[in-house]
Structure 1
Amino acid sequence: MYPLLTGLTVIEASSFVASPTCGLYLAQMGAEVIRVDQIGGGPDYRRWPVTPGNDSLYWENLNRAKRSVALDLSHPQGRELLQALVRATGQFVTNFPAKGFLAHDTLAAGRADLITVRVMGWADGSPALDYTVNNAVGYPMLTGDGPDPVNHVLPAWDLLTGSYAAFALLAALRHRDMTGAGGEVRLPLSDVAIGTVANLGSLAEVITTGADRPRLGNTVFGLFGRDFVTGDGVRTMIVVVTHRQWANLVAALGLGDAIAAVEVTRGVSFAADDGARFNHRDALFPLFESAIGARAHADLATAFDAGGIVYSAYRPMHAAVADPALVANNPLFGACENPSGAVYPAAGAFATLPAMTRQPPRPAPRNGADTEAVLTERLGLSSGEVAHLIDTGIAGTTT
């Protein structure tokens, strides 16, 4: 954690990945993020993976360093309390619907400079998930080698949207500091997805060529890159992104003469032309398959490291977790007590900031752990008033 956003309080009412990710990143940079959920937990409170005791490992990691308020949001008074918290702080992050009791105009009626960041599915307000948006923009029809679509396991659009939401909130805060104006920032998953397609040139590619890109399996489009199997059976991804890497890869594998012969036959030069390496992969790949397949992975790794060649063996996630460079010896991780009681390294802020020490990660709260304190601090309720809310089931605390 870093104390860069100390003094900033954000109310978060959300579920699943994108909106909680926004709150997580803000909290890791020092903001006080108060997550408000239904008493007993929202729809993601038991989201898999879970412990044997049915505590969500997903939830307690996406909600680290936050505070938790539990309210009965089905009750008018519970909704009024959430509205009051939003107005009292002036910053609100949510993926709840844009209509109803959390509509920005409704909330801003009591706080004109309120900034709301609303994560959405589609721009028209209709629901969508990462997995359905990904299908809509076409990536599963580019992944794999066909004919069936291949979904991604990683919820990339959720994570990108959460990151962009945190950035957008800070930009809106800067605008408010300069003008005094609040407003609602709407951030649909669909716009993040199709906008990213455009930023990567793929939208222009389809329009200008009039066709979809061919499905290439593990081959990298437009570069020399693919998976190869070493002599001892280790499947390894190799990608060339600079001309020097190409020269060093050819030298490491002793393929100079064979590559030169292909260049003469095809009338091309591969030395400084990514496109030529890609277009003539039918001639190049068999040469590399043979050379790589004749050597052990450890031998190749030594040669590749010396040449600055980008490569990585495929491995299951449990092997990555056991890699000291990634986890045990990585200052990103720290020890932290978890609400579930499970013991494992906890991730802190990703960035390393100059002249600042990354603070240890903090745990996620139990549902309602901070209800009493937040209602007292932020709304000025007395202990008796808070006790009455708890006794009547409007507010909840951990048990």
Structure 2
Amino acid sequence: MSSDTPSAGPLSGLKVLEMGQLIAGPFAAKTLADFGAEVIKIEPPGSGDPLRQWRLLHNGTSVWWQVQSRNKKSLTLDLKQPEAREIVKKLAAECDVLIENFKPGVMEAWGLSYETLAEANPKLIMLRISGYGQTGPYKDRPGFGVVAEAMGGLRYLTGEPGRVPVRVGVSIGDTLASLHGVIGILMALHHRQASGKGQVVDVALYEAVFNCMESLLPEYSAFGAVREAAGSALPGIAPSNAYPCTDGWVLVAGNGDSIFTRLMRTIGRPDWADDPSLVGNAARVKRVDEIDAAIGAWTQTRSVTEVLTALNAAQVPAGRLYTARDIAEDPHYRARGMVETVTSADGLTLDVPGIVPKLSATPGRITRRAPTLGEDTSAVLREIGITPEQEARLRERGVL
């Protein structure tokens, strides 16, 4: 955890109510919290956010939780009970942003629609993340990130040609939706400065994926071309691929006239470096198989370190495939503050990802460990005028 002199983050003073769970909503809230926003996370009593139990656990709690919920407060509420929903209304009346990633219609069924909440707080901004968005014929379908990655066009392209598509090793659809949600919140905050009015930010998981699919649709529109899976290659860009070494693989991006020239000289093909018929990406794409074969023939007789040493000296973009161990031990990660250390509530010392992006004047900081379940319930309730006696009665009825 950073020990530098505290500085007000760029979102200091922003109050956020997080009603989401698992990945998409909470990742957006975490990003805001990293930059100074006060985030109050609502969790169901007893079990809490299911992410607390996902993947590898330490003393019954996921170590992923220590990343996803840092800088947040935890408030337990059983939202199936009317008293709990009244507490949400009181909190929303004092918040700038509300984040939810329930199936469309859930908030309305609870009497917590945007229109209802905005009556008490017209400045409220609500981020709504769902599989298919708040409108359209698919809006009521259940949607997870993996399905969105397929519908957004990404899953069709991941894998080797002719083989089953594979998933990206992380929940990339959820994370892309989160980041689009954060962008939407920041734009809505900017608009609110001028208008005094909040609004809904509607993010669909599949649309966030689709927004990153580059030329996929216009190529089909113009040429009827359906882009296919291409393994580790980048179709239409040459050379850019993964190449075998004696002890692993190396990624080389030689797509650029001057870069290609330096790459060819490095691998012992000065004839191609000076070949006018290979100038320009379009020309190289026509001979990509031949070029890839030549690069692979050079790399496969050398170690990853030897290849990277030569290509770095020649200013050719290249890199190894990093594992978790490589990341943890890499000096550049450390120098950039991308590996930070935190201590969990049960005393576990953990390396966790640092904060992105890097702001020069108001950088983000990890100021608070991830909360235990309901750790901040009493403190949050006091802030909205609920007395200890009232809290005790709510606990007796299972509201908290």
Same fold judged by TM-score > 0.5?
yes
2:39 match: 33
- Residues 348 and 361, structure 1, Cα contact 8 Å, conserved in 2: no
2:268 match: 254
Q: Deviations over 1:175-225 (max 9, x none)?
A: 22211222222111122222333xx12110122221312322111222211
- Partner AA of 1:131 in structure 2: V
Counting only pairs closer than 5 Å after superposition, residues 1-399 of structure 1 correspond to structure 2 as 3-96=9-102, 97-98=104-105, 99-101=108-110, 102-123=112-133, 124=135, 125-126=139-140, 127-145=142-160, 146-197=162-213, 200-223=214-237, 224-230=239-245, 232-257=246-271, 269-271=277-279, 273-326=280-333, 328-356=334-362, 359-377=365-383, 379-395=384-400
- Residues 48 and 76, structure 2, Cα contact 8 Å, conserved in 1: no
Summarize the Cα distance change of 1:74–1:319 in structure 2 as closer, same or farther, 3 Å threshold.
same
Distance 2:49 2:320 in 1: 38
Shift of the alpha carbon at 1:28?
A: 0.7
Q: Deviations over 1:59-97 (max 9, x none)?
A: 221111011110122211112111221122242111123
Distance 2:299 2:207 in 1: 42
Shift of the alpha carbon at 1:34?
A: 0.5
Secondary structure of 2:59 counterpart: coil
Q: Deviations over 1:221-256 (max 9, x none)?
A: 2221112122x3332111123222111111111111
Secondary structure of 1:229 counterpart: strand
Secondary structure of 1:46 counterpart: helix
Shift of the alpha carbon at 1:166?
A: 1.6
- Residues 336 and 361, structure 1, Cα contact 8 Å, conserved in 2: no
Indicate the RMSD between aligned Cα atoms, in angstroms: 2.2
Deviates more, 1:368-377 or 1:173-182: 173-182
Distance 1:19 1:79 in 2: 19
Q: For this pair of structures, how many residues does the alignment match? A: 383
TM-score normalized with structure 2 length = 0.88
Summarize the Cα distance change of 1:297–1:183 in structure 2 as closer, same or farther, 3 Å threshold.
closer
- Residues 5 and 26, structure 1, Cα contact 8 Å, conserved in 2: yes
TM-score normalized with structure 1 length = 0.89
Summarize the Cα distance change of 1:300–1:194 in structure 2 as closer, same or farther, 3 Å threshold.
closer
Shift of the alpha carbon at 1:304?
A: 0.8
- Residues 14 and 95, structure 1, Cα contact 8 Å, conserved in 2: yes
Q: Deviations over 1:29-69 (max 9, x none)?
A: 10101111111244524342232422012222111101111
Q: Which runs of 5+ in 1 are unaligned?
A: none
Secondary structure of 1:176 counterpart: helix
Identity rate, percent: 26
- Residues 149 and 173, structure 2, Cα contact 8 Å, conserved in 1: yes
- Residues 240 and 254, structure 2, Cα contact 8 Å, conserved in 1: yes
Q: Deviations over 1:361-385 (max 9, x none)?
A: 53111111111111111x1222322
Distance 1:332 1:316 in 2: 15
Distance 1:107 1:340 in 2: 37
- Partner AA of 1:167 in structure 2: I
Secondary structure of 1:237 counterpart: strand
Distance 2:268 2:331 in 1: 33
Distance 2:297 2:125 in 1: 60
Summarize the Cα distance change of 1:207–1:357 in structure 2 as closer, same or farther, 3 Å threshold.
closer
